Structure 1
Amino acid sequence: MAQSDPSAPKLRRVQEALPRFASMRTIMALILREMATSYGRSPGGYLWAILEPAAGVAAMVVIFSLGFRSPPLGDNFAIYYASGLLPFLMFVNTSSKTQQAINYSRQLLAYPRVTFVDALLARFALTVLTQAAVGVIIFTFIKVTMDTRTILDLGALLNAYGMAAATGFGVGVMNCLLVSRHAIWSTVWSVITRPLMLLSGVIFLHDRIPDPYRTWLEWNPLVHAVGEARRAFYYSYRGTYIDPVFTYGLALICATVGLLFLHSYYRDLLER
């Protein structure tokens, strides 16, 4: 009778784990590639990718704080504006980077080790890390240099960023499919979303918008993400309209539908 090899179960576990580790290595390689190609030739490298938007947001915060002395919440317009703008930028940047993932990595996707999911996750992860670093810089600068009279709820702020990032990924995956099939969709989407900052409560407090417009705007998931960020800084702000389940659920639906269609058609998209 042939004896069973005691090392066989361990070998099978190692073999099953290899694809997961290979995928992680692929994602890290794609992240490093994008950092090198996108920021490697600029002064300061990847550091400039963080400092440039941080400086731009800081300048916008200062300009708006000088023009609006009395924000809808609290006494400091800088923290009010930043708490709405930074989650919004998390969505804008994650969605725009994710939607170009296949076009950006088109040549690498010809290799069997590189999948479209790797390309999507690599661009998404790098953008989230970059925007998180920008947020840390801006919020720390405001809190250190100004008397904001706010108390930070870190859990609520992380939830707001998570809602914005999840929505950006879901929308980005859907747009990745549409952009890969119809290049004009990128231009159409940019035109459609131009008033999105005003419609997401970045400048105007959502609670002060009259009905029925307030109820209509609550179908915009970014309204919930921005409201959660405001609640993270203003402990007296209730934000009863905020619904994380709706936001995460919508993001999950968009991402699932987009991934299913990409799985079925992305090989055809590569030949376009």
Structure 2
Amino acid sequence: MTALVAGRATLALILREMSTSYGRTPGGYLWAVAEPVAAVALLTVVFALAFDHPPIGRDFALFYASGYLPFAYYSDLVQKIGVALRFSRPLMAYPKVSWWDALMARFLLNSLTNLVVIGLVLGAIVALSRTPLRPDAGALAAGLGLAAALGAGLGVLNAFLFEAFPIWERAWAILNRPLFILSGVLFLPDAVPRPYDDWIWLNPLVHVIAQMRAGLYSGYAPDALSPGYVLGIAALSLLLGLLLLRRHARQLLDRF
């Protein structure tokens, strides 16, 4: 019965967020597709004018989509889950709605939205590509799973930190600005010269994007790629965030 009540609360929060996030603007979910399409198209045009071919393969759109889409998936989860308590605070006054329901609702809705968008964009690029491609579904699923795990883990930890230390939200935004450049969206980490080649792999997003590209490009398998490294950071962040929220969520919600 408890699981059923929690499931209903999560579903209600998902429906609420669907109406508030996508139901207030003309086009609704079309913007969720248009934004990554526009970003990939811009990257493709700019770099196609500057270079003869991308760092791997022959299709500029596929290369930049394989980096941008998992990066955007991770970023969206971290941001949306990080402010989940604030967004759903009015509803958590009801005893049957918990902070866990708020986190789960945001994770499920934004994961589903991003996965549909990624499927549509990559599917269209692969279908229109002039070079034969044989995507590895298992490797692609692993890349998306890593993006989801990392986004969820850091998002849950930030859900506590954003409310407990408001300055951390601004600091996090500043610290994350260089990530788009440093995560391998625009280049292959294998091409980074020494001694920086070892440093670049300390960024877990580099592993996420490399795993996605391993699923799209046959034969691409960087030696430094470590899914376990990403899962370790994700699990540690998630566990710490859940423990902190279990102990302090009610006090944080009662502060406002």
Both structures adopt the same fold (TM-score exceeding 0.5): yes
Amino acid at match of 2:44: V
Task: Name the CA distance, whole Å, in 1 between partners of 2:44 and 2:184.
Answer: 19
Distance in 1 between the 2:71 and 2:234 partners?
Answer: 15
Structure 1 position 87 matched with structure 2 position 62: no
Equivalent residue in structure 1 for 2:95, among 112, 121, 128 = 112
Q: Deviations over 1:185-229 (max 9, x none)?
A: 222111111110111111110001122212122121111110001
Counterparts of 1:119 and 1:246, CA distance in 2: 28
CA contact (8 A) 1:64 1:77 kept: no
1:168 counterpart (148, 151, 163): 151
* Structure 2 partner of 1:43: 26
Distance 2:52 2:18 in 1: 39
1:49 is displaced (CA, Å) by: 4.3
CA contact 2:143–2:208 (8 Å) conserved in 1: yes
Q: How many residues align?
A: 254
Q: CA RMSD in A?
A: 1.4
Q: How does 1:4-43 map to 2 (within 5 A)?
A: 18-43=1-26
After TM superposition, the runs of 4+ consecutive aligned structure 1 residues lying more than 6 A away are none
Q: Which runs of 5+ in 1 are unaligned?
A: 1-17
Partner-residue secondary structure (3-state), 1:106:
helix
1:236 is aligned to 219
Q: What letter matches 2:37 in structure 1?
A: A
How many Å separate the matches in 1 of 2:71 and 2:246? 29
Aligned to 1:10: none
- Classify the secondary structure of the residue corresponding to 1:69: coil
Identify the range of structure 1 (229-238 vs 48-57) with the bigger mean alpha-carbon deviation.
48-57
Give the drift of 1:109. 1.3
TM-score w.r.t. the length of structure 2 is: 0.94
3-state secondary structure, aligned to 2:186? coil
What does the per-residue CA deviation read over 1:97-119, in whole Å, with 9 as the maximum and x for residues that have no partner?
Answer: 00000000111112111111110
Distance 2:240 2:212 in 1: 28
Q: Are residues 1:63 and 2:45 paired?
A: yes
After TM superposition, list the pairs within 5 Å mapping 1:1-272 onto structure 2: 18-45=1-28, 47-67=29-49, 68-272=51-255
Change (3 A) 1:62 1:71: closer
User: Is the 8 Å Cα contact of residues 58 and 138 (structure 1) preserved in structure 2?
Assistant: no
Range moving further from structure 2, 247-256 or 51-60: 51-60
**Is the contact between residue 98 and residue 173 of structure 1 (CA under 8 Å) also seen in structure 2?**
yes
Distance between the aligned counterparts of 1:198 and 1:159, measured in 2? 22
Q: Percent identity?
A: 40
Bigger Rg, structure 1 or 2: 1
Q: Could you tell me which amino acid in structure 1 is paired with residue 66 of structure 2?
A: S
Q: Deviations over 1:51-100 (max 9, x none)?
A: 33243234334324533331111111111111111111111000000000
Secondary structure in 2 aligned to 1:107?
A: helix
The answer for unaligned runs of 5 or more in structure 2 is: none
Change (3 A) 1:117 1:103: same
Counterparts of 1:197 and 1:260, CA distance in 2:
30
Query: Residue 203 of structure 1: SS of its match in structure 2?
Result: coil
Worse-matched range after superposition: 92-101 or 204-213? 204-213
The two structures have a TM-score, normalised by structure 1, of: 0.89
